[in-house]
Amino acid sequence: MPDYKAPLRDMRFVLDDLLDAENHYAALQGRTEFDNETRDAIINEAAKLAENVLSPINQSGDAEGCKFVDGNVTTPTGFADAFKAYAEGGWAGMVATEEVGGQNLPASAGILVNELLGSANWAWNMYTGLTFGAVKCINEHGNDSQREVYVSKMVEGIWTGTMCITEAHCGSDVGQARTKAEPQEDGSYKISGAKHFVTGGDHDMAENIVHLTLARIVGAPEGTAGISLFIVPKFMPDSEGNPGERNPVFAGSIEKKMGIKGSSTCVMNFDGATGFIVGGENTGLQQMFTMMNEARLGTGLQGLCMAQLAYQGSLAYAKDRLAMRSLTGVKNPDGPADPIIVHPDVRRMLLTQKAFTEGFRAFLYELSFDGDKINNGATEEIQKAAGDRMALLTPIAKAFCTELGFESSNLGLQIFGGHGYVHEWGMEQIVRDCRISMVYEGTTGIQALDLIGRKVLGSGGELLRNYTKEIYKFCKANEADEALKEQVEQLLALNTQWGELTMEIGGKAENLDEIGAASVDFLMFGGYVAMAYTWLRMSKVAQEKLAEGTTEEAFYSAKVKTADFYFKRLLPRAQAHAQSALGGADCLMDMDEDQFAF
């Protein structure tokens, strides 16, 4: 497994040079001051936790995996100690409000820390990620008592949270959920049913686990309209708020998985367990989306984390591994062969990893800044604009970053050649760990339908128009810049094409299969355009730094060169997706089911 090193220089480039983080944070209302000094101190400490505590137990955690004995889950060696260090460091309460014992830092502070911890050990970090979502969900939708009893403990880092949504027969179609809730005289509910794929459903790292569970109250309407949300604790809190009587919600098994084996994925059986409703009846799905949207962005972050880890490993290997001679002459005369980084195809793979990794970071950090503005922007206008932008880009962030994060992970294995296929080098683990990212929290197909159906066509095109106008204004403001001119023209053309593509697909909407058939390619097209916009701005900033004079010429020059590679070698993929999106539904739907036989 590559020795993870926190990419602190690139993080600061995105925060300071591209996004002007200091002024962004200063403009927020109702959050603890988060100046550059405080931010850098937090990032540096998180980097130490990632590099020194979490990274060393990543590969061993994969080899050991979780153990399930007599209904109890034991995490791999070192995981519980790492979680204790995490709790004692105050990381769990970083972005929670002061009212529940948190530090009240801006929400985007969480993505900075989670990138570091997740890159070092994604399986371990999953236990903390859903807890952040549970805290936000209960804090926004729960009552004062629930915040006092449950949120405060999760913020303290001694309890964790889960999200219990999926059932075996329905997957993401939660309207088919059968888990039932029976009202009790004391205002509680008895929850009965089984939930599958529950991350962190049981483990040995926390005193208690708070299950946020979707269930249907007896007599409620069918479908999603009849879903309610409940808090179901593993142990019932006693009068002092400490874990008391065992609640009958048990792990029935843990999944034998392809990857992230250090993360317990449980089947949870609710055997008349006591639950407490969050908010009103039949509003559970809306409330759960608070948590699900957090999880979608967190999963998009996994694409960045896995791409980063794979790139670090493959770059070091490409510099060290000697094989064959350069096509243009010997580059390592003192050795029997040249390092493989001299070969054009190896450089193609490395640059693809670099372009995606650094592009994801800038894109996701900026999106997290939108999240800050939604709740803490200075005006309603700022809040709405950020909400619209985030609504449009969240499905792209989740799907595009995970699809290409997986590609980057595979390229890492490819650069290692045969060694990449062998466990000891750690590259095949990255591929296995990353593969789930395109599946959970809504598959790529579900994200694509959300984008084109709800966000684009559902808003009458308004959300997309707002974003394409933003791109257009940037391009027009920079079209006279000779250094950017060619890339500006390329992006302007694709930006216009995005609107035209939307109109053409939307014109077929009488047959909804046409929308479904076009959706994934439509999303991927948008992802490549959004990434081009991100890279164009990074190139502009880097060129300005070079023009001003800098002691970091190599760093900024690399940004310009990577942007050039993206526009010449990766952005052309967008046209293939556009053509496929217009390919229509007939070639998918005309075949009879029995013709699929083999």
Kindly report, residue by residue over 209-248, the tens digit of the pLDDT: 999 999 999 999 999 899 999 999 999 999 999 999 999 9
- Whether 1 shows a pLDDT value over 90: the answer reads no
Q: What confidence category does residue 288 fall into, taking pLDDT thresholds of 50, 70 and 90?
A: confident
Do 15 and 365 contact (CB within 8 A), yes or no?
Answer: yes
pLDDT, position 287: 85
Nearest alpha-carbon partner for 545 in 11, 12, 17, 16: 17
| pLDDT computed for residue 25 by the predictor | 98
How far, in Å, CA of 254 to CA of 266, rounded? 4
Task: Write out pLDDT tens, residues 481-529.
Answer: 999 999 999 999 999 999 999 999 999 999 999 999 999 999 999 999 9
At 286 the pLDDT is: 84
H-helix or E-strand spanning residue 66: none
* CA gap 51, 329 in Å, rounded: 39
Banded model confidence at residue 123, pLDDT cuts 50, 70, 90: very high
- pLDDT on residue 87: 96
CA torsion angle 167 170 171 177 (round to 10): -50
The pair of structure tokens assigned to 547 is: 């023009």
Looking at the predicted structure, is the pLDDT value of residue 446 above 80?
Answer: yes
Structure tokens that stand for 44 in this block: 């540096």
Closest CA to 366 of 9, 18, 17, 12: 18
Q: For residue 458, tell me if it sits in a domain.
A: yes
Provide the percentage of residues in the chain whose pLDDT is more than 70. Answer: 100
Burial class (CB in 10 A: 0-12, 13-18, 19+), 171: middle
> Band of the pLDDT at 370, cuts 50, 70, 90?
very high
- Residue 256 — very low, low, confident or very high, per pLDDT cuts 50/70/90? very high
| Residue among 167, 294, 441, 514 flagged as catalytic | 441
Check residue 292 and give its pLDDT: 72
Sign for the CA dihedral angle at 63, 69, 74, 77 comes to negative
pLDDT at 174: 83
Burial class (CB in 10 A: 0-12, 13-18, 19+), 337: middle
Reported as a single tens digit per residue, the pLDDT across 165-193 is 999 888 778 888 899 999 999 999 999 99
Q: What is the pLDDT of residues 311-320, one digit of tens each?
A: 999 999 999 9
- Provide the pLDDT for residue 15: 98
Residue 73 forms part of a structural domain: no
Q: Which residues, in sequence order, are CB contacts of 221 under 8 Å at separation 6+?
A: 282
Q: What is the DSSP letter of 339?
A: B
- Domain assignment present for residue 568? The answer is yes
The residue assigned the tokens 């948008």 is 526
Owning domain of residue 580? 454-588
Measure Cα distances from 261 to 58, 165, 250 in Å: 10, 21, 20
**3-state helix, strand and coil shares in percent for the chain, rounded to the nearest 5:** 60, 10, 25
Dist CA 299 CA 400 (whole Å)? 11
Note the pLDDT of residue 315: 98
Q: What is the pLDDT of residue 155?
A: 95
- Residue closest to 530 by CA, chosen among 411, 356, 384, 371: 356
Kindly report, residue by residue over 73-102, the tens digit of the pLDDT.
999 999 999 999 999 999 999 999 998 899
Confidence (pLDDT) at 488: 98
- As for how many domains the chain has, the answer is 1
- Residue 589: pLDDT over 80: yes
Contact in structure between 196 and 205 (CB atoms under 8 Å): no
For position 561, what pLDDT does the model report?
98
User: For residue 224, is it within any domain?
Assistant: no
> Taking all residues of the chain, what is their mean pLDDT, rounded to a whole number?
96
pLDDT range class, residue 293, cuts 50, 70, 90: confident
Tell me whether residue 441 is one of the annotated catalytic residues.
yes
Identify whether 60 is part of a domain.
no
Kindly state whether residue 460 falls inside one of the protein's structural domains: yes
pLDDT of residue 555: 98
d(CA 194, CA 211): 12
Q: Report the distance separating Cα 153 and Cα 274, nearest Å.
A: 19
Burial class (CB in 10 A: 0-12, 13-18, 19+), 175: middle
d(CA 306, CA 123): 11
Q: Which residues are CB-neighbours of 30 under 8 A, at least 6 positions away? A: 375, 376
pLDDT at 449: 98
Query: What's the confidence (pLDDT) of residue 105?
Result: 96
480 found inside a domain: yes
The reported pLDDT for the residue numbered 294 is 75
Specify if 499 maps to a domain. yes
Q: Does the pLDDT at position 291 exceed 80?
A: no
